[in-house]
Chain A
Amino acid sequence: MTSILKKFPLNRKQWALMKVLISVSVIIIVILGGLFLDEGRIVTNLTNRNSPPSIDNLFGTDWLGRDMFTRTVMGLTLSIGVGLIGAIGSAFIALILGMAAATMGRTADRIISWLIDLFLSVPHLVTLILIAFTLGGGFKGIVIGLTLTHWPTLARLIRAEVMQIRSADFVQVSQRMGKPRWWIAVHHILPHIVPQFLIGFMLLFPHVILHEAAVTFIGLGLSPHEPAIGIILSESMKYLSSGMWWLAFFPGLCLLMIVRMFDSIGDNLRLLTDPNGNRD
């Protein structure tokens, strides 16, 4: 027991690891909850409408008697799912374009840099709304929109990283050994950018989730019968003036918490993988 107590206060890296573990487990619980919660709890139940938070209904019920807690957890799961697909897609676009810009010669670099600047010069949300609207909204529209709008910052980061490694001595030696470009890219360059890539991916996640909720909120995203957080929030707007604060408060708070958790996972992973930060 004393040995455990002695280990507190934890040092910076141990704290970072703790935070990552806590965030990851909360997110896993939310996802599992969303998958296994009883669908029966969100069936309309007109005898129990508009009830404020209680032991039975932690987050209260809505105007159709549906349990808000269950709806929130399911909405979060859906949002995390959409966020996951969007973030994976974006991260891969970023990886491919970043690598291509840095390894495929000057013309490719100019074109890709121009494309990055073009996408960065317009706010994400505007491009996202345009794309989602053009594709007719719905799951497909929002996922494609998210994928196509969130890659530029990560792509720029990867490009810079690759350029630095490309000029390293060991890469030049490898070229003299007759190794083709793609071989060098896969064996020398890729392993060096994996940490950057993973952290960038984790930091994309909260962005993607928030933007998904935002677009769904204004009605261009997921369809109304799906229990997404954006849908829940936009529907609850109508009832806020009648004093049913719990309809918007708890789902909004949960969304914020999940987003902050992904953020903290990304930040703390960066701290953990930073080779210059391990002095304590």
Chain B
Amino acid sequence: MQLEAKDIGFRYDDGPWLFRGVNLSVEPGEVVGITGPSGRGKTTLCRILSSYETPLEGTVTYNGAPIPKKGYHPVQMVLQHPEKAINPRWKMHKILHEGYHPDEELLALLGIEQEWLTRWPHELSGGEMQRFCVARALGQNTRFLIADEMTTMLDAITQAQIWHAVSEIAKKREMGIIVVTHEVKLMQRLCHRIIDFSG
């Protein structure tokens, strides 16, 4: 059930190689942190792992086989900016139920209130929207969650609440998590192992 990246290389158009020969494997239930300065390709690697981009070199495999292009993707990513990851012309309940119907328990754990469901996205704050994005990504078939600066723009209390909920669910479901963040404290608390992208 592991997610494995072998000899990944990527560059945009004809630019210089962002990285080459990157190897990474994540076991279920494992929390891996990725850190490093801006512009080294952390986000790009995450996008490759969740099939937003195709690598120019190397392969990404799940359970030893390539990830099928159709159907629910076992690797779900939560992006940094929730307002971009949400269709502004949809109400919150439609956004939440796009992939599956989360149960009450999950919503309570993430602190999503029932009355938010009938609102439009612009009637919620960034933190409130990000909770929806997290809930949306935690479908029953999600095996790995990639949190690309998921809580960077949130205050400490919201950050703690979201991470508490996510790690609880991950533990229960044996879900692997990849965390990209600049916050050393957060990373040390959460992660079993840390990959440094500065070299």
Binding site for B on A (CB under 8 A): 168-170, 172-174, 176-180, 188, 191-192
Contact = CB atoms under 8 A, between A and B. Distances in A.
A169 B72 contact: no
Interface of B: 50-52, 70-73, 76-77, 79, 81, 84-87, 89, 98-99, 136, 139
Contact of B73 (A177, A180, A188, A192): A177
A139 to B, nearest CB: 39
Contact of B76 (A170, A176, A180): A176
Contacts, number: 38
Contact of B84 (A169, A177, A180): A169
A172 B79 CA distance: 11
Contacts of A173: 77, 79, 85, 136
B148 to A, nearest CB: 11
B97 to A, nearest CB: 11
Given A169-B79, A169-B84, A172-B52, A179 B98 contact: yes
B73 A176 contact: yes
B51 A176 contact: yes
Nearest to B85: A169
Given A176-B51, A177-B99, A179-B98, A170 B85 contact: yes
Given A177-B99, A178-B73, A191 B85 contact: no
Nearest to B51: A176
13 contacts: A169-B85, A170-B86, A172-B52, A173-B85, A176-B50, A176-B51, A176-B52, A176-B77, A177-B72, A177-B136, A178-B99, A191-B89, A192-B89
A177 to B, nearest CB: 4
Nearest to B78: A173
Contacts of B52: 172, 176
Nearest to A177: B99
B72 A174 contact: no
Contacts of B77: 173, 176
Contacts of A178: 70-73, 99
B51 A174 contact: no
A179 B70 CA distance: 8
A272 B73 CA distance: 40
Contacts of A174: 98
A164 to B, nearest CB: 13
A106 to B, nearest CB: 15
